[in-house]
Copies of this chain bind each other. A is one copy, B any other.
């Protein structure tokens, strides 16, 4: 799926890229605190460090900001995850590390992920599928890693189980952020990683 273009009046692509980075940074902070709807475009402009007029040189509507924010967050998460997965050798040990790494990323970016989670529904019907697609791609990464373990004979899982385990891992990563009010009070990140990994993988070994 190709990237959705957000129209900018400004021609200089480097400038566009720079300004948008400023914008996204400011917007994430605001959305985190007040949500998308309660944040005004003026606030976004101010947080980004430029005027309201300038903001609209780089987007067409307020919703464009939300899209850019979501797009950015997904790309960031996906890129980080991709790097880890690329080194994968298909062993259980690798799966453990991938999960740990993913949970770590979700911890680092929990504010961003929370924002995305709560505001993605405000995306237009146009933009939503593009964002959901990114999530599907990430889930697929986990599927690939798990499949390797199955092919190696280290795990015995049906196709359907593989897919669902991948979803579970993904959601458990997000949980750490969006249920922080419960989980981060009770567990350290390390504990959370350890216990979830054990619960997930403990039950999957072939020889058990």
Contacts and interface: CB of A to CB of B under 8 A. Distances in A.
Given A172-B168, A175-B167, A199 B195 contact: no
Interface string A91-131: 00000000000000000000000000010011000000000
Interface string A11-46: 000000000000000000000000101100000000
A164 B132 contact: no
A75 interface: no
A121 B33 CA distance: 10
Interface in A118-176: 118, 121-122, 132, 135-136, 139, 160-161, 163-165, 167-168, 171-172, 175
17 contacts: A35-B122, A118-B118, A118-B121, A160-B186, A160-B187, A160-B195, A164-B187, A167-B175, A167-B182, A167-B183, A168-B199, A171-B172, A199-B203, A200-B203, A201-B203, A203-B203, A203-B204
- Majority SS at the chain A contact face: helix
A191 interface: yes
How many copies the complex holds: the figure is 4
Interface in A179-208: 179, 181-183, 186-187, 191-192, 195-196, 198-204, 208
Contacts of A38: 122
B121 A164 contact: no
Interface string A53-91: 000000000000000000000000000000000000000
Contacts of A199: 161, 164-165, 168, 203-204
